[in-house]
Each structure stands twice: as structure tokens, then as C-alpha cells.
């Protein structure tokens, strides 16, 4: 990939109103970051906005320089060492910033996530489960949070473990994990989606959780209170068609209630590493994914008139609705509806939601 | 019911080689205990045995007198105050010996069973669950064992609770439950299948467990090690088409592993009383059972010749086989095959197993 293309892609990623879904759509439509960047002003204009605030070349150059300085690098979703599992996910990160050995993402991956305030027994279980999984050639994915995440990474250090953090790759959180994070970046794999210098804000955590789920054939939840972040990871894993597994606990322990609820809703109850491997099924079959495809400029879709555009916009409201539903109800071709939505999003009028749903902002 | 009929039925029950299944078949075929008793020698002879050792009238009279002396009574399976749920079960006790209020068996019943060496948290959960269930009008059924059983009975004392014991109704076990057993017999319901004076032997416990499962719309297991008696109760509940429910726990606690395994096999994971009621479904519908039917003499089935008898016997081996399978493979009418099996059982040559299966002894 040329430096110019790399720069254009990063500018696209950092431009307001370009989310992961619209980034991939722009790339699919225009075939390259450079072409997409050039097309952006017209698209936003048709969506009803003025001149978009495109991230400058300077911002992107500084990001590239800083990433290099940190011994890290961008891996774009169409590059060979991007995770083949993560690539399949709707709204996959256009690029991940990594330090370490990305080869482990080509092997079977299992996420282990759970409570920050985990019990001693849960931490022990996480550590042992992670060690057992790595002994079977599995990469353990987690989020470097306190409690279960930390225990899972530590248990997996003898094998392969990937840590996905909500901050920039140069920000360590929680503070007590500075050393562990550095060790993982050195010997294992550290992954961030946000640019360097980003502090871990609340809104970054669900975003990070989708990456943990997306990287993994299955997600094991160990202790999770109702409405905890671990349940978001589990729900994303379910959305992505991946295996959702949970370790049960006493109903009288609030930290077990989220896991127990997951099991009631259909997650597989896990007691041993064999239960996990059984739930995942034959690992070789799991790794046989479709080969990655390069972005190529697609044929132009029939441009829509303002009247058509108004029909799609008129069907939108503050409640998220499935794009499929919009296609059905508008009676317009799917590609045309996607284009209108892209224009509206770039103009800051439409928001994307999990499950290929959109709403007015 | 006449005294003579009552006596005849008890003699039948206490006769060697007359198990619950053959008792009901005898009653169905001959319409009364007196007629069945009369037919017994011929049947056993055709099965290849000598004169059967029929329990004497004296033995039965002594049992009746002792039961009356204890303030207890026999309730036969075709009597109105026998449990309508237990009556449906293959191999239901021909009679139960009871002290207390049998009306509670006409209400929704839920069994709570579990480990004798239960954890403090499991005992607390059992007590609370039992109290919550009785507050909703449910009768709590258990086995008066140490641990979970005891806690369930204690929690249910403010409502209705039925205790099924493996011994005779006049034998208290474990010793520390003497007082609780007496209280249940006085205010609640105490049930035994064995005659008075019977000590609780190991082989009586699985037999007792089938009654607990059979009395109940569903069975909740709280802490159970793999291969424990509680799992037998759960398995019987499943065999009977009743709801099997289990309370999860940490996989690192051996006492939770049986429950977790049950959930993996399809039991409903239970955290609250609402989960139990939801699993049971509409209780009114559950109570609408077929009315009990009186025993009436059935039309004679075509007698089988010795050759036919040999065909059925030849299909039997030491491994239990389903009666349905014998009917199919022998090509003989079902009623005729049942008769041959009854004769062979009375002659001590055939044993019955759970799931309508039989084997050579």
C-alpha cells in the first residue's frame, strides 16, 4: 500500500461522521481511500450538509509518525495480517493499531471476559481456563481490565494472548496493569482502535468490546453482573454468530447473575476447557474462512433524485430501524438506499447502530 | 373399600416378585386385589416357578394394625386422596402410608432436593425458595435428608410441605431430624412406601426418590455432586415428563457440578421463584389431569402357547430392553407379551427397570 493511500485511509477514519460502516461502504464504492476522500464533499452535500470537516493530511501524518515511534503499526482490514474473523463483522474497525505478533489472530481465538471485581475463585478459574486453552493452541483474547480480564491474560502468557484496549496504544489503564500491558505488547499482541494519546472514555468500552467479540470464535463470560460490559461483549458475540459461553455461579452472588441469565437465554454452560472446545466444534473447519477480498470500485448505482432521497429520509426516525426494512418499505434498490444513508450519515444526520440499523440523529 | 380387599392388596404388595408395575398389571387384569391374589399361583406356575410365597393374611393384618396404631393409614393408588400426579407414573407405589394432610397433594407440587453436605449458601437458598414457593400456594416436596432437604422443609413449614422417607413411617432418619419428622407428620404430610419398622437401607433411597419426582410438577436441584441421589430424582422427573430445574454454582465447587451438568443436558437454570413458576407454566392447566379410573377386570387376552412364551423369553437377556421393543420383535400382541412378562416376573425370572424396560434376573 502506498504512503498516500495509507494517509488517505487514516484521514477518512478520523473524519467526523465517518464511522466504520460508512468507511467500508466508501471503500467498496470508490475502491480506494484516495478516491473516497475526493468524493466525500459531494456526498455530504447531497446529504444536506455544508463542507465536511475532513481530517487534515497533517493529522494523519502525525498519527502515522507517533504510531511508528511507539513501535506500533496500523493494520487495515484488507491487509493479510488483519484478523480474518474480525474482518467478517459488520462495523469492523477500518484499521487496528497493533504492537506484537499478529500471527496469533490466524489461529483459533477465544475471548475470556468478566467482572472487574471478580471473586478469588473466578480469577483462579479464568487463569486456569486461559492456560488450558493456550495449551490446546488457542489464542486467548481479552480486554486488560481488572479482575477476570487480567487473570485470563496472565494465565495465557505461556501461550498466545491478545489484549484489546479502549484507549490509545500508548495509554495504560488501569494503572496497576502498566507492566502487564507492556509485557503483552512485547511478547504477545496489544491492539487499540483509537489513535495514540486517547484516554479510555466510557464510550470507548462498548466499541472495544465489539472487537474482543469480533476477533474470537467464541466468548466465555466468567462472573458478570446484570447490565455489565461483559454482557455487551457476549451480546456482540451472539450478533456475530459466534459461540456465547458462560460460567455459572450461585444465584445469591450478584456477580454470577449475568452469567446465569446468559445461560437461561441460550449461552452454553461451561465447566471445563473441554466444554469450550466442544462448543466451538471442529477448529479446522472454523478457520476455513472466505479469503479476504481487495476493495475495487463498484459500478455506479443509479443516482437517486431528491424525491427518492426524501422518501428514504422520511422513513427514518429517532428509533433505530433495520436497513433491510428501509429497502423494503421504500421500494428502492438496496444499493441506492445504502447510498442515501451514506450521504445522510456523512452530513451528520444519520447514526448507525448494531445489527445494521440506522436512526436520525 | 372392604377390609378384605384392603387386606388382599397389602398381601399382594408384600409378596416377593410382585413389584409396583406387576401389582398394577394384576389389578388391571383381574379388577381387584382379591381376584389377583387368587390368580397368582397359576400365573407363577406358567412363568416356570413352583408355588409362590404369597404374603400371609396375618402379615397384612399386623401391618394394618401397626399403621393404625401410629396414627397413619394406607392410601391406595385408585383412592381419591392419592396424588393425581404420582398415579400417572409407571411403577407408582400401589399404596403409600401417610400421616397428615393429603389434600396438599391436590395442589401444585414442586420438589426441592440436593446435597446432604450442602454449603451454607445452598441451605439459605433452599429455605428461601421453599418459603417463596409456599407463598404462591405450592406444596414443597422433599426427602427429609440432611442439608438441602431439611432446609427446604423448614422453609416451607409456614405453608405446605410433604416429606417422603425411605424407611418405615415409624423410623426417623437422620437422627437429628426426629423432631422435624414428627412436626411434619403432625402439621404437614409424611409419606412412606415401606412397611412400618423398615430401616432406611441403601436400596430404598432410589425407590423413595422416584416418589419425590412423581409427586411433583417439577424438581429443583440445589447443589448436587455428580452421581448423587439428587440427580436420580432429577432423572426420574425427566423420565416422567416433569420439569427438571437446577440451581447453578461455581464449576470449582464439586457440589455444583451435578447441577451444572443437568443444565448442560437441558434442565432449566433457576435463580428465583419466578424462574420456577415460569418453567412450570400455567398451574391451573397443570392441575387439570385425567380423572382417576377404578380397576375393572379386563377382557381375557388370547392365551399364549408355550412356543409363544419361549419366543418372548428368548428375546430377553441380562441387558434391560424396552417392552415395546419386545412386542415389535416378537410379533405378538402387546397384551400377550405383557402377560408373559408378568408370569415370568412372578416366577422371579424377570426384573423391571425404569423406562418400561425388563431384563432376565
HEC states along B332-357? CCHHHHHHHHHHHHHCCCEEEECCCE
Which burial class, exposed, middle or buried, applies to B81 when counting CB atoms under 10 A from its CB (0-12, 13-18, 19+)?
middle
Q: What value does the mean pLDDT take over residues A90-107?
A: 96
- The pLDDT, as a whole number, for residue B335 is 86
**Are B323 and B357 in contact, with CB atoms under 8 Å apart?**
yes
What the block records as the C-alpha cell of A225 is 453482573
Q: What confidence tier does A285 reach under pLDDT thresholds 50, 70, 90?
A: low
Q: What confidence tier does B60 reach under pLDDT thresholds 50, 70, 90?
A: very high
User: Among A82-86, A165-169, A311-315, B257-261, which stretch is predicted with the lowest mean pLDDT?
Assistant: A311-315
Q: Which residue in A has a C-alpha nearest to residue B125's C-alpha?
A: A252
Cα gap B232→B145, rounded to integer Å = 15
pLDDT higher than threshold 90 for residue B64: yes
User: So what's the ipTM on this one?
Assistant: 0.78
Percent of chain A with pLDDT over 70: 96
Interface of B with A (CB under 8 A): 121-122, 124-125, 247-252, 256-257, 260-261, 263-264, 268-272, 275
- The pLDDT, as a whole number, for residue B290 is 61
B254 three-state secondary structure: helix
- Chain A residue numbers touching B275 (CB-CB < 8 A): 264
Cα gap A128→A123, rounded to integer Å = 9
Å from B232 to nearest chain A CA?
21
Q: Which residue in A has a C-alpha nearest to residue B122's C-alpha?
A: A250
**Are B21 and B46 in contact, with CB atoms under 8 Å apart?**
no
User: Among A298-307, B23-32, B135-144, which stretch is predicted with the lowest mean pLDDT?
Assistant: A298-307
Cα gap B329→B311, rounded to integer Å = 9
User: Among A177-186, B3-12, B225-234, which stretch is predicted with the lowest mean pLDDT?
Assistant: B225-234
Which burial class, exposed, middle or buried, applies to A221 when counting CB atoms under 10 A from its CB (0-12, 13-18, 19+)?
buried
Interface of A with B (CB under 8 A): 121-122, 124-125, 247-252, 256-257, 260-261, 263-264, 268-272, 275
Going by C-alpha positions, the residue among A319, A351, A255 that lies closest to residue A18 is: A351
Going by C-alpha positions, the residue among B355, B65, B326 that lies closest to residue B236 is: B355
Which burial class, exposed, middle or buried, applies to A2 when counting CB atoms under 10 A from its CB (0-12, 13-18, 19+)?
exposed
End-to-end CA distance of chain A: 35
pLDDT tens for A313-348 read 899 999 999 999 999 999 888 888 988 999 999 988
Going by C-alpha positions, the residue among B143, B237, B146 that lies closest to residue B190 is: B143
- Chain A residue numbers touching B256 (CB-CB < 8 A): 248, 250
- The pLDDT, as a whole number, for residue A291 is 61
Å from A118 to nearest chain B CA?
13
Q: What confidence tier does A273 reach under pLDDT thresholds 50, 70, 90?
A: very high
Cα gap B119→B105, rounded to integer Å = 30
What the block records as the C-alpha cell of A37 is 476522500
**β-strand pairing of B350-353 with B321-322:** unpaired
pLDDT tens for A190-222 read 999 999 999 999 999 999 999 999 999 999 999
pLDDT higher than threshold 70 for residue B301: no
Nearest CB neighbour to B252, from listed A124, A268, A270: A124
Q: What confidence tier does B295 reach under pLDDT thresholds 50, 70, 90?
A: confident
**Are A169 and A67 in contact, with CB atoms under 8 Å apart?**
yes
The residues facing A75 across adjacent strands are A96
Question: Class assignment of domain B84-288?
Answer: alpha beta
- Chain A residue numbers touching B247 (CB-CB < 8 A): 250-251
Cα gap B161→A255, rounded to integer Å = 32
Cα gap B259→B53, rounded to integer Å = 43
Percent of chain B with pLDDT over 70: 96
**Are B302 and B333 in contact, with CB atoms under 8 Å apart?**
yes
Cα gap A236→A232, rounded to integer Å = 6
**Are B168 and B198 in contact, with CB atoms under 8 Å apart?**
yes
**Residue B334: C-alpha distances to residues A139, B173, B324 (Å):** 58, 42, 8
End-to-end CA distance of chain B: 35
- Chain B residue numbers touching A257 (CB-CB < 8 A): 271
- Across the interface, do B247 and A251 touch by the CB < 8 Å criterion? yes
Q: What value does the mean pLDDT take over residues B5-32?
A: 94
Average pLDDT across chain B, whole number:
92
Residues whose CB is less than 8 angstroms from the CB of residue B283 and which lie 6 or more positions away in sequence, other chains included: B108, B137, B138, B217, B277
Cα gap B336→B352, rounded to integer Å = 17
pLDDT tens for B104-123 read 999 999 999 999 999 999 99
- The pLDDT, as a whole number, for residue A295 is 80
pLDDT higher than threshold 80 for residue B12: yes
pLDDT higher than threshold 90 for residue B306: no
* Crossing angle between the packed helical segments A334-346 and A306-315, to the nearest 10 degrees: 80
> How is residue B177 annotated by DSSP?
G
Count residue pairs from A and B with Cβ separation < 8 A.
65
- The pLDDT, as a whole number, for residue A110 is 98
pLDDT tens for A100-159 read 999 999 999 999 999 999 999 999 999 999 999 999 999 999 999 999 999 999 999 999
- The pLDDT, as a whole number, for residue B302 is 64
- Across the interface, do A125 and B250 touch by the CB < 8 Å criterion? yes
A97 three-state secondary structure: strand
- The pLDDT, as a whole number, for residue A302 is 64
- The pLDDT, as a whole number, for residue B303 is 67
pTM of the full predicted structure?
0.84
- The pLDDT, as a whole number, for residue B285 is 58
Q: What value does the mean pLDDT take over residues A77-86?
A: 95
Q: Which residue in B has a C-alpha nearest to residue A278's C-alpha?
A: B264
Taking only Cα atoms into account, the Rg of chain B, rounded to an integer number of angstroms, comes to: 21
Nearest CB neighbour to B125, from listed A124, A248, A252: A252
Q: Which residue in B has a C-alpha nearest to residue A269's C-alpha?
A: B264
Suggest the residue from A124, A126, A271 to mutate for an interface test with chain B (most B CBs closer than 10 A). Answer: A271
Suggest the residue from B251, B264, B278 to mutate for an interface test with chain A (most A CBs closer than 10 A). Answer: B251
pLDDT higher than threshold 90 for residue A310: no
Å from A338 to nearest chain B CA?
43
The neighbour count for residue A187, using CB atoms within 10 Å, is 12
Q: Which residue in B has a C-alpha nearest to residue A263's C-alpha?
A: B269
User: Among A130-139, A305-314, B339-348, which stretch is predicted with the lowest mean pLDDT?
Assistant: A305-314
Prior bond to A218 cis, omega within 30? no
**Are A99 and A46 in contact, with CB atoms under 8 Å apart?**
no
Residues whose CB is less than 8 angstroms from the CB of residue A250 and which lie 6 or more positions away in sequence, other chains included: A256, B121, B122, B125, B247, B248, B249, B250, B256
**β-strand pairing of A139-142 with B268-269:** unpaired
pLDDT tens for A21-41 read 999 999 999 999 999 999 999
Q: Which residue has the higher pLDDT, B50 or B205?
A: B205
pLDDT higher than threshold 60 for residue B244: yes
Suggest the residue from A269, A274, A279 to mutate for an interface test with chain B (most B CBs closer than 10 A). Answer: A269
Going by C-alpha positions, the residue among A3, A97, A12 that lies closest to residue A59 is: A12
What the block records as the C-alpha cell of B120 is 451454607
Q: What confidence tier does A281 reach under pLDDT thresholds 50, 70, 90?
A: confident
What the block records as the C-alpha cell of A333 is 434498490
Q: What value does the mean pLDDT take over residues B54-67?
A: 96
Q: How far is CA B71 from the centre of its chain?
A: 22
- The pLDDT, as a whole number, for residue A260 is 97
**Fold match between B3-69+301-360 and B84-288?**
no
Domain residue extents for chain B: 3-69+301-360, 84-288
Q: What value does the mean pLDDT take over residues B62-81?
A: 97
- Chain A residue numbers touching B263 (CB-CB < 8 A): 248, 263, 269
pLDDT tens for A216-264 read 999 999 999 888 999 999 999 999 999 999 999 999 999 999 999 999 9
Q: Which residue has the higher pLDDT, A268 or B283?
A: A268
CATH architecture, range B3-69+301-360? Orthogonal Bundle (1.10)
A233 three-state secondary structure: helix
Amino acid at each position: 500500500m502506498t504512503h498516500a493511500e495509507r494517509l488517505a485511509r487514516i484521514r477518512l477514519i478520523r473524519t467526523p461522521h465517518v464511522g466504520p460502516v460508512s468507511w467500508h461502504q466508501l471503500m467498496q464504492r470508490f475502491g480506494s481511500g484516495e478516491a473516497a476522500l475526493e468524493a466525500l464533499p459531494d456526498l455530504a452535500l447531497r446529504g444536506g450538509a455544508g463542507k465536511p470537516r475532513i481530517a487534515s493530511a497533517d493529522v494523519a501524518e502525525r498519527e502515522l509518525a507517533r504510531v511508528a515511534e511507539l513501535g506500533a503499526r496500523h493494520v487495515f482490514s484488507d491487509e493479510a495480517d488483519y484478523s480474518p474473523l474480525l474482518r467478517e463483522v459488520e462495523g469492523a474497525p477500518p484499521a487496528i493499531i497493533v504492537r506484537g505478533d499478529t500471527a496469533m489472530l490466524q489461529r483459533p481465538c477465544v475471548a475470556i471476559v468478566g467482572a472487574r471485581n471478580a471473586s478469588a475463585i473466578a480469577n483462579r478459574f479464568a487463569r486456569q481456563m486461559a492456560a488450558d486453552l493456550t495449551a490446546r493452541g488457542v489464542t486467548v483474547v481479552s480486554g486488560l481490565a481488572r479482575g477476570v480480564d487480567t487473570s485470563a491474560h496472565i494465565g495465557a502468557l505461556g501461550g498466545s494472548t491478545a489484549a484489546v484496549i479502549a484507549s490509545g496504544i500508548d495509554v495504560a489503564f488501569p494503572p496497576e496493569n502498566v507492566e502487564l500491558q507492556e509485557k503483552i505488547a512485547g511478547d504477545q499482541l496489544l491492539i487499540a482502535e483509537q489513535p495514540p494519546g486517547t484516554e479510555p472514555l466510557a464510550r470507548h468500552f462498548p466499541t472495544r468490546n465489539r472487537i474482543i467479540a469480533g476477533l474470537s470464535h467464541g466468548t466465555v463470560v466468567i462472573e458478570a453482573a446484570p447490565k455489565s460490559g461483559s454482557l455487551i461483549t457476549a451480546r456482540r458475540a451472539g450478533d456475530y454468530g459466534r459461540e456465547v459461553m458462560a460460567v455459572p455461579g450461585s444465584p445469591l452472588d450478584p456477580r454470577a447473575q449475568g452469567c446465569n441469565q446468559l445461560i437461561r437465554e441460550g449461552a452454553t454452560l461451561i465447566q471445563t476447557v473441554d466444554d469450550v472446545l466442544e462448543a466451538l466444534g471442529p477448529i479446522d473447519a472454523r478457520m476455513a474462512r472466505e479469503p479476504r477480498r481487495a476493495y475495487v470500485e463498484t459500478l455506479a448505482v443509479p443516482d437517486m433524485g431528491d424525491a427518492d432521497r426524501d422518501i428514504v429520509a422520511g422513513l427514518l426516525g429517532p428509533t433505530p430501524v433495520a436497513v433491510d426494512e428501509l429497502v423494503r418499505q421504500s421500494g428502492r434498490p438496496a444499493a441506492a438506499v445504502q447510498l442515501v444513508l451514506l450521504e445522510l450519515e456523512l452530513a451528520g444526520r444519520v447514526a448507525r447502530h448494531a445489527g445494521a440499523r440506522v436512526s436520525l440523529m
